[in-house]
Structure 1
Amino acid sequence: MMTAAKKVYDLIQEDIQKMPLNEFLLSPDEANNLRSQKVEQILTRHTQNMESDVQRRVRVEMESWGPLCEPMADESITEIIVNSPTSIWIEKEGRLHRHPDSFFSELSFRNCLDRICHEAKTHITTEYPCADGSFQDFRLSLIGADLTNSSAHFSLRRHPKNPWTFLKLAEREWCSQKDLHLFQQIMEQRKNFLVVGATGSGKTSVLNSFLNLLPENERVVVIEDTSEIALPNKASMKLLTREDPQGVLPNVDQTQLVKRSLRLRPDRIVMGEVRGSEAKDFLMALATGHAGSFGTLHAQDAGQALIRLEMLIQMGAPQWSLSAIRRLIQLSLDYVIVTGKDKSGKRCFKGAYRLCSLEENGILLEPAEF
């Protein structure tokens, strides 16, 4: 089917190239409409006697997402990675697999990418070769060919339609019933914590699960770069950063949003990911009355998370001493929740650690128990 569809596609492209472009007496809209009609006629002529699956495959290549349609419809696939027109990878159950389908040509790949960027309201240029955005149920990350030295590269990470709960995670053997009791106690006692783990370890799923433990009358202000976290109730709200590559609009970063959130009467502040100088303002907010707040951080384990947090705070307060930074962490945070994957690639709970004391060489951690 793939070979037959590609042959038909090549014939269609040959006929399209022969179409006259000098419609001088027509307006731009009329010329576009006429061209669309002629393309449709060519497409119909070449596919009308083909099998239905070949017709469908050619049409999605011409008009939709081509080889990405099938993995986009499969909700068990959590990420789609496109390295080039002929190199597509999918993540399923924590493991990468090569997608057997591919784009028919560099042209159809570029056209598909243009359609995705148009719908995501983002684009890349030579001056700004990277972009991020939201596309349907996915988080889009795009890198131009100028930086890859080959084709443009993009990935689509799926936002879960139904937010995770700890009961769902327990059913998948992510954690034990004893662990569920620990998480419930952390939320009820309004402890501050970070969910840490490597990329793809499920930090956002765990964050959504914690939010599902909240009552309807607690107001949460969620701060994110791209919208991934589901609000727990109607009293809550979300603040998203803004980055304009063209420089027309001023950028709004997470540091500004943390400061703004303090004026919005939050019961808890939730940071989608602590990744820069906003770490200082976030922890200061936690230390001055917003108990029960939490966020995520990229790190392999709890000890590495605290070291990375020290570095991020230094970005926002380079004049502070290391002892002052560690004191702020010790005053602000109560727990570090670690997520990860086992040898088979399955996501799992790696442990919870309590910040118990500030020692001369750093903060002492111990396994959390209730």
Structure 2
Amino acid sequence: MNSNLTYIFQDLQSKIQNIPLNELLLSPDEESLLRSQKMDQLIQQETAALDSHLAQRIRDEFYSWGPLCTLMEDESISEILVNGPENIWFEKGGTLQQHTDQFLSDISFRNCIERMSQNAKCFVTVEHPSADSSFGDFRLSIIGSELTQSHPHLSLRRHPKNPWTFARLKDQSWCRDTDIEIFKKLIRERKNFLVIGSTGSGKTSVLNSLLNLMNPNERVVVIEDTAEIALPNSASMKLLTREDPQGILPGIDQTQLVKRSLRLRPDRLVMGEVRGAEAKDFLMALATGHAGSFGTLHAQDAAQALIRLEMLIQMGAPQWNLTAIRRLIQLSLDCILVVGREPSGLRVFKGAYRLCSLEDHGFLVEPLEMTEGRTLPPY
């Protein structure tokens, strides 16, 4: 980073902090307004003689997102990670890279977080030291210093403006034509399934692609924590959870939204991510008439996904024994789609698996047959 830029900024910041306010009997609001006006004048004067790029960079530090501005404007960047004012990373083309720029002071870094929090209504407190919200084209996650024991940390994951389609995924070597036929068949035959994979493996992109296969007159009710899934048509709707760190409004979780969605005449239910006790209600809805529904789940493979699903259902129904839980899974779930990310950063479709039967030791799972009679290779 340009050391001259740091010097200019710190000098300007010092002058701003020493702005004299000679007016008497000012109210707090009047004093704040006057200080803001004088700060604007000072910044304008001090940056007038600078190169336009440097002047804009200084103004970004005071008024906008500082070194994050260029990253946020680059739509090929999918995620931005900020581990402190001098430690910024971004993901581009599936590869994590360190940003060459940084915040010019701890104060401007904290001010940037404050501006983001106000904009996204995403506030971190001592009682609630982490928060998530939508922020423009991004999903914003803030972790407070109480948990990091250093600076606050930010994560900005970009929502794609153009929903993914399987044609786009195929062009990026994510899948083959024969795989796309499997997806179309699952939607056409109204199978219930889960898309599983690790963090950043592209599960949400697959959900958006699957929704693009829907008939235009099907009503889909989407349930998620943050708005990442694009509705397939105007007949569909979305329900979002609510969490109020201030404790003023009651929280609304996915379990409540699943129950509410059943009164909204859904043809299909789509769960952005099954992550807690809502797994029980979601699968019960699938087992009692909402065929063709699907969602995502964090897991590495089909066997791990089923074990995790059993645990999540038990959170919602601790009185149930393992046999009852497995019977519910057998009645409600048909298939599991596995996605992953290679060490190179390339996201790939790893396989489709069918729940064949429930045995004494657990579920028997096998690769799903292709329309041509071939099967997907196990991985």
TM-score by length of 2: 0.96
Distance 1:23 1:356 in 2: 80
> Is residue 189 of structure 2 the alignment partner of residue 189 of structure 1?
yes
Deviations 1:31-81 (A, max 9, x none): 333212211221122211111111011010111000000110111111100
Distance 1:256 1:24 in 2: 55
Structure 1 residue matching 2:67: 3-state secondary structure: helix
Distance 1:21 1:264 in 2: 59
Instruction: Decide whether the 8 Å contact of 1:4 with 1:54 is kept in 2.
Output: no
Distance 1:104 1:140 in 2: 22
Distance 2:245 2:36 in 1: 32
Give the superposition deviation at 1:122: 1.5
Deviations 1:86-138 (A, max 9, x none): 00000112221101100000000000000000100121111211111111100
* Aligned-partner residue type, residue 152 of structure 2: A
> Is residue 372 of structure 2 the alignment partner of residue 368 of structure 1?
no
In the other structure, the counterpart of 1:351 is: 351
Instruction: Decide whether the 8 Å contact of 1:259 with 1:281 is kept in 2.
Output: yes
Q: How does 1:238-277 map onto structure 2 within 5 Å?
A: 238-277=238-277
Give the superposition deviation at 1:343: 2.9
> Is residue 323 of structure 2 the alignment partner of residue 323 of structure 1?
yes
Distance 1:343 1:244 in 2: 38
> CA 1:179–1:12 in 2, change beyond 3 Å: closer, same or farther?
same
In the other structure, the counterpart of 2:112 is: 112
Distance 1:316 1:40 in 2: 55
Distance 1:208 1:347 in 2: 15
Give the superposition deviation at 1:21: 4.7
Distance 2:167 2:247 in 1: 45
* Aligned-partner residue type, residue 185 of structure 1: K
Distance 1:114 1:270 in 2: 34
In the other structure, the counterpart of 1:128 is: 128
Distance 2:310 2:21 in 1: 61
Distance 1:24 1:203 in 2: 60
TM-score by length of 1: 0.98
Give the superposition deviation at 1:288: 0.2
Instruction: Decide whether the 8 Å contact of 2:94 with 2:346 is kept in 1.
Output: yes
Distance 1:304 1:176 in 2: 25
Distance 1:33 1:239 in 2: 40
Distance 2:354 2:278 in 1: 23
> Is residue 272 of structure 2 the alignment partner of residue 281 of structure 1?
no
Which stretch shows the higher mean deviation, 30-39 or 271-280? 30-39
Instruction: Decide whether the 8 Å contact of 1:80 with 1:157 is kept in 2.
Output: yes
Instruction: Decide whether the 8 Å contact of 1:8 with 1:47 is kept in 2.
Output: no
Distance 2:195 2:80 in 1: 24
Distance 2:318 2:311 in 1: 9
In the other structure, the counterpart of 1:76 is: 76
Distance 1:192 1:24 in 2: 70
Distance 2:127 2:74 in 1: 35
* Aligned-partner residue type, residue 236 of structure 2: S
Q: How does 1:144-293 map onto structure 2 within 5 Å?
A: 144-293=144-293
Gaps of 5+ in 2: 372-379
Structure 2 residue matching 1:255: 3-state secondary structure: helix
Give the superposition deviation at 1:206: 0.1
Which stretch shows the higher mean deviation, 264-273 or 50-59? 50-59
Give the superposition deviation at 1:22: 6.4
Instruction: Decide whether the 8 Å contact of 2:125 with 2:245 is kept in 1.
Output: no
Structure 1 residue matching 2:83: 3-state secondary structure: strand
> CA 1:24–1:365 in 2, change beyond 3 Å: closer, same or farther?
farther
Structure 2 residue matching 1:96: 3-state secondary structure: strand
Distance 1:245 1:59 in 2: 31
* Aligned-partner residue type, residue 103 of structure 1: F
> CA 1:144–1:310 in 2, change beyond 3 Å: closer, same or farther?
same
> Is residue 23 of structure 2 the alignment partner of residue 10 of structure 1?
no
Q: How does 1:134-145 map onto structure 2 within 5 Å?
A: 134-145=134-145
> CA 1:5–1:325 in 2, change beyond 3 Å: closer, same or farther?
same
Structure 2 residue matching 1:131: 3-state secondary structure: strand
Instruction: Decide whether the 8 Å contact of 1:6 with 1:58 is kept in 2.
Output: no
Distance 1:21 1:333 in 2: 68
> Is residue 106 of structure 2 the alignment partner of residue 86 of structure 1?
no
Distance 2:340 2:302 in 1: 12
Distance 1:199 1:81 in 2: 14
> Is residue 87 of structure 2 the alignment partner of residue 96 of structure 1?
no
Distance 1:75 1:168 in 2: 16
Distance 2:234 2:27 in 1: 49
Give the superposition deviation at 1:231: 0.4
Distance 1:268 1:142 in 2: 33
Structure 2 residue matching 1:324: 3-state secondary structure: helix
Structure 2 residue matching 1:114: 3-state secondary structure: helix
Distance 1:43 1:269 in 2: 53
Distance 2:22 2:360 in 1: 78
Instruction: Decide whether the 8 Å contact of 1:88 with 1:102 is kept in 2.
Output: yes
